[in-house]
Structure 1
């Protein structure tokens, strides 16, 4: 008799797949209504990747025992204030937080902020008090879905399959796959999302689609928000956003009398004022009444830990530095877990220069570009060899991982590494592994609709178009269907509209005030003429991006930059 083993996909995406292994064959699990028996391309790539099996010290193979001894010695001989713990999103299982517990107890420097969703999350939290998505059924029961700054078919393929027969409206500078499937595509200029939100709020009032009684009872500041929206003539909004009034009116023709959902992506908030921009978009949704509907609502990258008590939390007084602007070279010892900052962090050259000055420990499952600068590499056990729980930031369901394969004796799980170090340093022990997993598996979190919505009452966003010349391009990034951030099959091209004068295969030098790099061109009519488009995980794009933090959340602002392009 075969015995199914549950598998939680650890990857950094909205869907949080649940798989199962039956007699060694891995398939999607129908126990999870989002996965619904299907697995995506990224999960298939994950199963095929080569995992690290051997520790390395200064380029030479060593045993796991030797690597742990070296790590222990380095930690004991390095001041904790000069030790940095840096965790990535290579595996998002809850057990992956165990090493942070050790470094917190050790007094190491930790990071704050996000390379991903921080600004947008801060904006939604300021509006509603928390970043929590409605139940997925509310999305399924909606009639029309507005996809704003998110390539929904790529970032959320399982969620998309649940609603693929709905009517879609896409708001995005790029003609994405979901835009091509949409009844309407508003191809706005980059960093004008807040202006479009005000533009649409103004039209909501003009079309009498707002609900004054609902706004009075459930929000604060809606009159101020509307006043902001009417401070400019409609033709001014048309000019700056690039969205014609006729097209804006089409949106209302499509949604009137319908149950509407809005699915927000990361692209809208990759700027210095990302929180303000998100507050404006969410404010338009509130003005339109999306939040009050029985079906529909607004989805973003939610706080997956909402409603749970973090089982590895340690209330220390550790120094914390912004993940967007930290200088790796300021630390004598840098411990990197499941991350590839050489590709994924902003300002690649600054990252490389910093890592060269530090003793770098890399702890992860695969060899990546950051490993080139690591003095010590410790292989972690892959996700099929350890128990874990994956909380979702796309929907309310969790995924469970049981042990499918026996781990190599030369690899170590995150929990076991933390346990080993805590014992060596005689710190307070971790909670029992099964106790932690049982807590998450048996703890139910109910969606809590916000009591009061607080509109932003003043918008101070410095537009990029103010400093843009005819020779500048906006930098835009988005997910690829064949990769996930820096994992799997990366595409290192720059994509430009054919009308800008560069041809397929041209080698170009692209520069910003933060750096420069070389790219090969691919042309596409899907790219707006004033944009240069790069897929996330492009090895060279972050030579161009600022290692500075946004105004509210200590987070990255990758698209807060104008670039120049010339033939090499």
Structure 2
């Protein structure tokens, strides 16, 4: 069985059911569990359906949902899916809403912006299999904090020389052999600075767009780049010597927070392509890799009706169906999502969170251990399956069961059985390595060793310059070890240095309640640091498909 939470580790679990209670234990590739799973049942889910906040029976809930969808019509219905559960079967609901003709809000609150840059160069964003990480001499962690977000990486790298590049001195930074502290949103400039040094060494690999890339690289003055990054020459030379030796470069969301930062992930890839990091057994570069690569997704589709998530205008819709998400807290553009309070909002999920509390109709979903499913990982090369744990639950409904009801109610055909979908997902080149766990054989070889997923199979160098206007102060958001998105125990504090510029201190005073502010000199000046978005998302406004974190 797998943990469904949206994090790197994609833990394999043992689930024990004793006296009507369920208990989790680590298993196999993930022998221990994080705080969130160890305390999972301290945050009880809501198991009673509700209509206008009043308890009703599940069959009444389903009838009301069908009536709402029949009476309003598809053009006025918006489908929004969060990432509360990463199982592939969670997407089966899309089959009904696509047949029905609803509009899908398409985009990402998380890795979409950084992935955009990866795709520009490589064509696809693949993981770096764990055996390559274990082979690597050095580990370069760039904009990522695995001591909080990826705890099963730590044993793999504990005996290696580790470099962390980050704007904040995280726990990972404190446990590294070398910490390079950069200014927020300056990672592009550091990648360009290092690229200058690589090209000047006259030992590098080239590919498509290299001449354009080289012009961009040398359009910057070295001293100006160092100033933009906030690093000194000694730090720069140490870092350069290490990356020349080779290693595993593990980048995270910290590299892709501003609107222009898709160019940052592309610039980092371009730097390490020159150094020969791709397609090798002892080195590589990985962002959040595609968890679906190497298995099948029967629910992948190009929606007939869709709108970029951050261009949604809720005035265009009467009904909003929210699955496994809490837009009122987790989404930027909060002014827009506040309109859910005046819509017919249907929430299909586990928790009575802020969005569920204002919903017209709340449909409780079964927990992950109560249904069959499959998931991959954006960190490791394994695929894990779920079998239903024997817990009787007649108040809640699974995603497949809800889809089956709606397909029948509307007379739509083509829905396969649950087992057929599971079989289709697993009908790939997989090696069964244990109970409920498979390894993707596609990662027997290093990623990209047979070429890239571009039109001609070649890597594409960065060919667009970074157009970022320096702000008087910056936002830095990170994960909290006891929360995930809006779930579990949130940290609803922002942290600032009291010696910051008056313009930032004044903004904080005018916009953030005093009880939500902690002053600390452990944070660099002129940075608003938030562990999660529950407070700061109120002031973040985005456009397009992929979220970015800037105050305008």
Q: Normalized against structure 2, the TM-score is what? A: 0.90
Q: Deviation of residue 356 (structure 1)?
A: 2.2
Question: Which of 336, 345, 366 is the aligned partner of 2:322?
Answer: 336
Question: Which of 226, 234, 237 is the aligned partner of 2:225?
Answer: 237
Task: Please show how residues 395-434 of structure 1 align to structure 2 within 5 Å.
Answer: 395-434=380-419
Task: Please show how residues 535-550 of structure 1 align to structure 2 within 5 Å.
Answer: 535-536=531-532, 538-549=533-544
Structure 1 residue ranges, 4+ long, deviating more than 6 angstroms after superposition: none
Q: Output the CA distance in 2 between the equivalents of 1:271 and 1:479.
A: 17
Given that residues 363 and 396 in structure 2 are in contact (C-alpha distance below 8 angstroms), is that contact kept between their aligned partners in structure 1?
yes
**Contiguous gaps of at least 5 residues in structure 1:** 1-6, 563-568
Q: Which residue of 2 aligns with 1:287?
A: 274
**Contiguous gaps of at least 5 residues in structure 2:** 430-439
Q: Which residue of 2 aligns with 1:557?
A: 548
Q: Deviation of residue 518 (structure 1)?
A: 5.8
Task: Please show how residues 99-498 of structure 1 align to structure 2 within 5 Å.
Answer: 99-207=93-201, 210-211=203-204, 215-216=205-206, 219-257=207-245, 259-313=246-300, 317=304, 319-352=305-338, 354-444=339-429, 445=440, 446-447=442-443, 448-449=447-448, 450=452, 451-459=457-465, 461-465=466-470, 468=471, 472-498=472-498
Distance 1:29 1:44, change over 3 A: closer
Please say which of residues 234-243 and 45-54 is displaced more in the overlay: 45-54
Q: Deviations over 1:491-515 (max 9, x none)?
A: 111111243389xxx995354xxxx
Given that residues 252 and 287 in structure 2 are in contact (C-alpha distance below 8 angstroms), is that contact kept between their aligned partners in structure 1?
yes
The answer as to 2:50 corresponding to 1:59 is no
Q: Deviations over 1:356-376 (max 9, x none)?
A: 231000010111111122111
Q: Which residue of 2 aligns with 1:523?
A: 519
Distance 1:508 1:238, change over 3 A: closer
Distance 1:261 1:406, change over 3 A: same
Q: Deviations over 1:240-287 (max 9, x none)?
A: 111222211111233443x31111111222222232221111111212
Given that residues 298 and 425 in structure 2 are in contact (C-alpha distance below 8 angstroms), is that contact kept between their aligned partners in structure 1?
no
Q: Output the CA distance in 2 between the equivalents of 1:315 and 1:533.
A: 37
Q: Deviation of residue 28 (structure 1)?
A: 3.9
Q: Output the CA distance in 1 between the equivalents of 2:392 and 2:354.
A: 24
Q: Output the CA distance in 1 between the equivalents of 2:146 and 2:510.
A: 29
C-alpha root-mean-square deviation of aligned residues, in Å?
Answer: 2.1
Aligned residues: 525
Distance 1:507 1:313, change over 3 A: closer
Q: SS state of the match for residue 517, structure 2?
A: strand
Q: SS state of the match for residue 438, structure 1?
A: helix
Q: Output the CA distance in 2 between the equivalents of 1:480 and 1:404.
A: 29
Q: SS state of the match for residue 176, structure 2?
A: coil
Q: Output the CA distance in 2 between the equivalents of 1:181 and 1:46.
A: 28
Q: Output the CA distance in 2 between the equivalents of 1:524 and 1:158.
A: 30
Q: SS state of the match for residue 8, structure 1?
A: coil
Q: Deviations over 1:517-538 (max 9, x none)?
A: 66522233432212110011x4
Q: Deviation of residue 292 (structure 1)?
A: 4.5
